[in-house]
Structure 1
Amino acid sequence: MTVIYARCPLVNFDQAEGLRRMLFNAKPRFVTFLSALSNEERNATLVNLSAGLGALGHDVVLMDARVNGTSCAKWLEVPIKTTLLDIARQKRSIKEATIPTSQGFKLASFCRSQQLTEYFPATELVLTKLDKIIVSLGNSVDIVLVDGELNDNNKLASDVLEDGQVVIQVTNHPDSIKAAYGLIKRAHSHCGRRDYGVLVCGVTELEAHRVFEALAHVAGSFLSVSLNLMGYIPDDDYLRRASRSGRSVIDVFPRAGASVAFSRLAQQMSGFNEFATSHM
């Protein structure tokens, strides 16, 4: 399996430079995933990518920044006792908010759904503390992958995350492509022009190429937005079987096609980190 790069006049031709800038320019490193997949697919993708990075020796935190009850924390059946919002309200320490998982990464949660009534009317002081806590969390690890969503104002959970990088998860179904463009359009309405990564899931290499070119065409034509193709994850029953057991496919079926894809994506992300360090 090889990662493909689309040749399209509306995307960056220097894909290596685009991915380097997208993933590794900012310190600390936050990569927020917005998804046009089903909840099961998006959670499995984030858990397995986190596991892949952890298997390479990286200190990884998967931050649950969704509050609708379908997030990675719920999918992993990990009880959240302390959230980042708790810390901002001086109720807990940041160490209590990062939970080691058996998959080789840590899990943190932005806030629980029942805390929403506390979060939205939060004082400016609490919000400022929350941003500082998120920065501190990012500085304490190699990378933070964020299970993110846009709120009613088309913003991410924190301004800190908006300063990081954003990746759109999409598959080859027309509704998913439409939803992915909708996410880019919504984020664009708040953040203005910026680059987005694209990770195509449940497809062949050729299908990933076609999905990316279609999405890049409309984003470039109507929003003047540049997209970078991160890669793709193939459709794989072994991935579904591992997900049903609550484990990563890399751990359960290390030679499966999906395992190879997640491992290579993790290696690619690590490789661009080394490139950025030696060329900046």
Structure 2
Amino acid sequence: MADFRGDQATGLRRLLGHPQLRSISFTAGGAGVGQSTAVANLAASLARVGREVLVIDEHADVGVASFFGAFVANDLQQVISHEKRLEDVLVQVAPGIRVLPVARVVGQLGSLGEREQRTLVTCLAGLLPPADVVLVDSSLDHPLGFSPLGLAAQETVVVVAAEAAAITEAYALIKKVSLGYAHRRFRILLNRVRSEVEALAIHDNMARVTDSRRLARLEYAGWVPLDGQLRQASRLCQPVAALFPEAPAARAYAMLAEQVLEWPPGNDERGGLEHFVQLLLHLSQRIHATAIYA
């Protein structure tokens, strides 16, 4: 059943010019842990409860759009250089879900001139319909070692598979970003686990280590079970909830969507997407690779 009170509140915020935006960056310590799959399925679950979702995708090859069977031809870089309109670059992959490819421009944000910055802020601030939730699918290969989109987002979710190598890589990423950029809080999403008991055990062990070494505070975001129906839906380029709504993974993503909407929206509620982009540009011009690799 739709939450009409929530819809009225959202409409009122927009009428008064105070959109409430949630921005969440997804990252991982290494490849193959299901990060993009998690972003795609969470986006679908959020759209199913009436939220407008903007996925900012840093991947040049197989990105979130491909999980919906959509093809990406353009990039935000072409909007900044006035070759394309934002409408030409955005990919509507499903009702309520748009994907914005940024692979070509994300490494150049720190060197944009004033005119290019103004173009970027203006075009995204005028996005219609406005986004309720921004999900960032971060690349592991950013030249700065960690995407500035991850630093600008209100929340950073580290996707961790229930494998020893993935856990080690996730810890190394958290340590690197904590020491390099003083980023002290992460949420942990456990993926491909056999039970919530296993998920909580992995999270608690990681949290205990990072806390004892005063690196960061890790908060539990939830867990997604190892589910053959999720793999089958991915092969068919569909969210698991669309094909198998009763699958364990579908229920897990629905629960994650509910929890995401309950997370505190941060201090930029009044600025919306424009504030997010301005913060992104600010951070991009002030961070450098030597800090994170030192």
Q: TM-score, normalised by structure 2?
A: 0.73
- Partner SS for 2:94: coil
Instruction: Give, in whole Å, the separation in 1 of the partners of 2:102 and 2:45.
Output: 23
What residue number does 1:99 align with?
91
Aligned residues: CA RMSD: 3.2
CA apart distance, 1:261: 0.7
Q: TM-score, normalised by structure 1?
A: 0.76
| Match for residue 79 of structure 1 among 71, 79, 83 | 71
Contact in 2 for aligned 1:61/1:143 (Cα 8 Å): yes
| Match for residue 215 of structure 2 among 224, 230, 240 | 224
What residue number does 2:237 align with?
246
CA apart distance, 1:135: 5.8
- Partner SS for 1:240: helix
CA apart distance, 1:158: 4.3
CA apart distance, 1:116: 8.2
Overall identity of the aligned pairs, in %:
23
**What is the correspondence of 1:73-152 to structure 2 with a 5 Å cutoff?**
73-102=65-94, 104-112=96-104, 119=108, 122-125=111-114, 128-129=117-118, 132=121, 133=123, 140-150=130-140, 151-152=142-143
Contact in 2 for aligned 1:27/1:139 (Cα 8 Å): no
| Match for residue 35 of structure 2 among 34, 38, 42 | 42
Contact in 1 for aligned 2:55/2:98 (Cα 8 Å): yes
- Aligned-partner residue type, residue 23 of structure 2: F
**What is the correspondence of 1:44-59 to structure 2 with a 5 Å cutoff?**
44-59=37-52
| Match for residue 63 of structure 1 among 56, 62, 76 | 56
CA-to-aligned-CA distance 1:29-83 (integer Å, 9 cap, x gap): 221100246447222211111100000000001111233x243234444222332
Contact in 2 for aligned 1:37/1:169 (Cα 8 Å): no
Instruction: Give, in whole Å, the separation in 2 of the partners of 1:194 and 1:135.
Output: 28
Contact in 1 for aligned 2:67/2:238 (Cα 8 Å): no
| Match for residue 162 of structure 2 among 160, 172, 187 | 172
CA-to-aligned-CA distance 1:75-116 (integer Å, 9 cap, x gap): 44422233222111122222223221137511111134xx78
- Partner SS for 1:176: helix
- Unaligned segments of structure 1, at least 5 residues: 1-25
- Aligned-partner residue type, residue 135 of structure 2: L
CA apart distance, 1:249: 0.6
> Alignment length, in residue pairs?
247
- Partner SS for 1:57: coil
Instruction: Give, in whole Å, the separation in 1 of the partners of 2:126 and 2:182.
Output: 26
